[in-house]
Amino acid sequence: MGNLAIVTTVKPSIFLLALFCFILSGCAANNRDVSEVANQLRHNLPIETALTKLEAIKVDRRSSAQHELNLGYLQLVSGDYQNAITNFEKAKQTMASLQAISISENLASATVNETFRNYSGWPTDQVLVHGMMAMAYLLNNDLNGARVEILQADTQMNKLAGADTKSSHGQLAFVRYLAGVIYELNDEYDSALISYRMAFNILTTRKETIPAPLQQSLIDLTSRVGLADESKDYQKQFSRGLSKHYTNKQFVFAFDGVVTQMQQAKSTLWWDIDDVYLSVALPKFPRNNYVEYPFYIHSQEGEIVTQSIESIEKRAREDLQARMPVISAMALARAGAKFQTVKELNKKDNVLGAFANILTIISEVADLRHWSLLPSSIQIAVSYETAATLQLSSRYGQLFIDATNDQQIEQVQEIDPLESKIIDNSTADNQLSAEENIEGAISRKHITKSMTAKSRALHEDILKVSPTTVEKIRKNIAKINNSTKKNAVVLLSSLTNKIHIARF
């Protein structure tokens, strides 16, 4: 009721001034530009081009945190770790400084639209910024810097959870798992075990699958710190034993896809003060069409497949759903204030009233800002390879990494995994479809992003065909030398064919 009281006492002159400010504001246009970059990335826009486009967008102060988060993420997956750290740090400071909201900001968002409010990040953003920053520090071979970030992430998650120890609000299994990896690399095995347990508890609370790397870490570390009974319990629960090796351990993180962009939805809500339905603009996520694709690791011991530890698609939707009651209430109060203002102006001047009514329609815009360039899913895998090389494969780029300096030295010919063999039960002898004759059998030296886009479209068509089976062809994308150091952290991303490696 406090916000409503403020809204209904706003003077028409202030309201109209705020409307003019909105028309001059570029916030909505900025968000459209960011969403366009995100959608183009989903259709294989080169990441270097995406960075150039993103840097060219003029961002006002209210959206600076969102801009810094997006820039930092693209810089991270492109290998520009230092600039990624710089932008993540700026975003952290901006979001932290917005804990106290000014009266003028509340007034503008209550009378015009939510884009007049400073973007302070969603719960997922406020935690994940520490995780992404820790990853940038790790890949920059700064283990201490990464450790500081996961300590800050722990503080932020505890703050978001509050007194409810079972709350999943703002809790990220990926960040807890990453903390365990960082502690493990630093030989802090007790702390690593605590973090792995926390990741396990988050996934258990959500009733989500426990990925094999986390299962193995729980089994191995409980045994290593002397908790033999607990280790046996985990072995029984997960149906797996202790790992054969504990050195030459490669922690693989894979970022797949681009999170779905929010859209504006017009809706009507009942305004009981005047007994009318009022039109409001609300944010929404469209249907989730994301299909998760794994990465593969080939070693002497067989094939390992990355598994999801965090669905950013789900977390983003959960964040929005949690905020919707407040967003809807504010939208209704704002629409009621505009309706009252138009009524008052109509009594004095019909022309001015009609003009004000047009402005109310134009000004009603949903706030679609979020960390819009994040991956749709974060996946993990662990290899205990003791040989000189670790071979990775995926549907994305293909290259070899120099054994000594991680530089790309060769690209190889390969068939895109989603340019697949379609085997129809009624035509089993004729395994090549027309699409495969055109695209699937193309052998090339340099994989192109446009071909991957075609393969995605083909894959979507395949999913609609029944009954069929899809035989995926995998491609080799890297060989990594692990003989110089004991452990390694590897980052893969569907946005680039670069392989990022740090050895410890």
Higher pLDDT, 11 or 137: 137
Q: Are 68 and 51 in contact (CB under 8 A)?
A: no
SS3 readout for 33-64:
HHHHHHHHHHCCCCHHHHHHHHHHCCCCHHHH
Q: Are 145 and 44 in contact (CB under 8 A)?
A: no
Predicted confidence (pLDDT) at residue 472 exceeds the cutoff of 60: no
Our separate counts of H helices and E strands in the chain read 17, 15
What single DSSP character describes residue 226? T
| Residue keyed to tokens 């870490």 | 217
Condensed to tens digits (0 to 9), the pLDDT of residues 50-66 reads 999 999 988 888 889 99
Q: Are 193 and 234 in contact (CB under 8 A)?
A: no
Predicted confidence (pLDDT) at residue 316 exceeds the cutoff of 50: yes
Higher pLDDT, 354 or 142: 142
* Percentage of the chain modeled with pLDDT above 70: 62
Q: Which two tokens stand for residue 207?
A: 């009733």
pLDDT, position 255: 95
Q: Any residues with CB less than 8 A from the CB of 3 and at least 6 apart, and which?
A: 106, 110, 329, 330, 333
The stretch 191-196 carries a mean pLDDT of 97
The stretch 381-391 carries a mean pLDDT of 69
The stretch 2-26 carries a mean pLDDT of 46
The stretch 342-367 carries a mean pLDDT of 67
Gyration radius (Cα) of the chain, Å = 26
| Residue keyed to tokens 């909505």 | 28
Sign of the Cα pseudo-torsion (209, 172, 255, 376, in order): positive
Predicted confidence (pLDDT) at residue 136 exceeds the cutoff of 90: yes
Higher pLDDT, 451 or 166: 166
The stretch 425-434 carries a mean pLDDT of 33
| Residue type at position 344 | E
Which domains occur in the chain, in start order? Answer: 145-243 (1.25.40), 393-481 (no CATH)
What single DSSP character describes residue 257? S
Residue 495 three-state SS:
coil
pLDDT, position 135: 98
Q: Which two tokens stand for residue 446?
A: 């340099």
CA dihedral 255, 257, 259, 264 (to 10 degrees): 170
Among residues 471, 474, 449, 453, which one has the least CA distance to residue 462? Answer: 471
Higher pLDDT, 453 or 85: 85
DSSP string across 421-468: EEEEGGGTT----HHIIIIIT--BSS--HHHHHHHHHHHHHHHH-SSE
pLDDT, position 148: 97
Model confidence at 100, in pLDDT bands (50, 70, 90)?
Answer: low
* Percentage of the chain modeled with pLDDT above 90: 38
Q: Which two tokens stand for residue 296?
A: 């593969």
Predicted confidence (pLDDT) at residue 88 exceeds the cutoff of 70: yes
How far from the centroid of its chain's Cα atoms is residue 371's Cα?
7
What single DSSP character describes residue 472? P
| Residue keyed to tokens 């960075």 | 51
Q: Which two tokens stand for residue 473?
A: 């062809």
pLDDT, position 357: 59
Q: Write down the H helix ranges in 163-273.
A: 173-185, 189-205, 212-224, 228-238
Predicted confidence (pLDDT) at residue 442 exceeds the cutoff of 70: no
The stretch 448-472 carries a mean pLDDT of 36
pLDDT, position 456: 39
The stretch 376-398 carries a mean pLDDT of 71
Model confidence at 425, in pLDDT bands (50, 70, 90)?
Answer: very low
Model confidence at 300, in pLDDT bands (50, 70, 90)?
Answer: low
Predicted confidence (pLDDT) at residue 405 exceeds the cutoff of 50: no
Q: Which two tokens stand for residue 486?
A: 């004991």
What single DSSP character describes residue 179? H
pLDDT, position 392: 67
How many angstroms separate the CA atoms of 154 and 187, rounded? 19
The stretch 340-365 carries a mean pLDDT of 66
